[in-house]
Amino acid sequence: MSTKCPLTEKEIKDMIKLAKETRKNAFSHRSMHKIWASILTMNWKIFWWCNVESAISGLGTCAERCAVDNAVSHWFYEFKAVCTVDTKLVAICWACLQYILLFAQVSDKDIWIISADIKWNYQIKTLNQLLPEWYKTQKIENLKTYSKQKK
Q: Does 62 bind Zn ion (CB under 5 A)?
A: yes
The three-class DSSP label of residue 68 is helix
CB of 51 to Zn ion, least distance (A): 8
User: Scanning residues 64 to 123, which ones bind Zn ion (CB under 5 A)?
Assistant: 93, 96
CB of 8 to Zn ion, least distance (A): 26
Closer of 93 and 102 to Zn ion (Cβ): 93
Q: Give the interface segment with Zn ion, choosing from 27-35, 43-51, 57-65, 68-76 (CB under 5 A).
A: 57-65
Q: Read out DSSP for 78-123?
A: -EEEEEEEESS--PPPHHHHHHHHHHHHHHTS--EEEEEETTS-EE
Closer of 62 and 82 to Zn ion (Cβ): 62
Taking CB atoms, the residue at the shortest distance from Zn ion is 62
Q: Does 130 bind Zn ion (CB under 5 A)?
A: no
Closer of 16 and 96 to Zn ion (Cβ): 96
Contacts of 30 (CB under 8 A, 6+ apart): 53, 54, 55, 57, 60
User: Scanning residues 5 to 44, which ones bind Zn ion (CB under 5 A)?
Assistant: none
The site for Zn ion (CB under 5 A) is made up of 62, 93, 96
